[in-house]
Amino acid sequence: MWGEHMHHGYYPQGGPKKSNQEAQIDMIEEVLSWAGVTEASKMVDVGCGIGGSSRHIARKFGCSAKGITLSPVQAGRANALAEQQGLADRVSFQVADALQQPFPDASFDLIWSLESGEHMPDKERFVGELARVCAPGGHIIIVTWCHRNLEEGETGLKPNEKSLLDLICKAYYLPQWCSLNDYRRIFEAQGLQDIKTADWSEEVAPFWGAVIRSALSTDGFTGLFKAGWSTIKGALVMPLMARGFSIGLVKFNLITARKAK
Pairing mode, strands 250-258 and 134-147 = antiparallel
- The range of the structural domain enclosing residue 40 comes to 20-155+175-204+250-258
In a domain, 226, yes or no: no
Pairing mode, strands 91-95 and 108-114 = unpaired
Residue type, 6: M
Please state, in angstroms and rounded to a whole number, the distance separating the CA atoms of residues 133 and 10.
28
Pairing mode, strands 64-69 and 42-46 = parallel
**What is the CB neighbour count within 10 angstroms for residue 82?**
23
Q: Is 153 exposed, middle or buried (0-12, 13-18, 19+ CB in 10 A)?
A: exposed
pTM given for the model: 0.90
- pLDDT tens for the chain, residues 1 to 261: 456 767 788 998 756 667 878 889 999 999 999 999 999 999 999 999 999 999 999 999 999 999 999 999 999 999 999 999 999 999 999 999 999 999 999 999 999 999 999 999 999 999 999 999 999 999 999 999 999 999 999 999 999 999 999 999 988 899 999 999 999 999 999 999 999 999 999 999 887 666 655 544 445 444 434 444 444 455 567 788 889 999 999 999 999 999 999
In a domain, 14, yes or no: no
Give the torsion through C-alpha atoms of 182, 7, 116, 149, to 10 deg: 10
Q: Give pLDDT, residue 128.
A: 99
Residue type, 187: F
In a domain, 238, yes or no: no
Please state, in angstroms and rounded to a whole number, the distance separating the CA atoms of residues 156 and 147.
11
In a domain, 4, yes or no: no
Cα separation of the two ends of the chain: 41
Q: Give pLDDT, residue 231.
A: 46
CATH number of the domain enclosing 51: 3.40.50.150
Q: Give pLDDT, residue 224.
A: 37
Give the total number of structural domains in the chain.
1
In a domain, 81, yes or no: yes
In a domain, 138, yes or no: yes
> Residue 64 in contact with residue 42, Cβ under 8 Å?
yes
In a domain, 160, yes or no: no
Please state, in angstroms and rounded to a whole number, the distance separating the CA atoms of residues 128 and 105.
11
> Residue 198 in contact with residue 251, Cβ under 8 Å?
no
In a domain, 241, yes or no: no
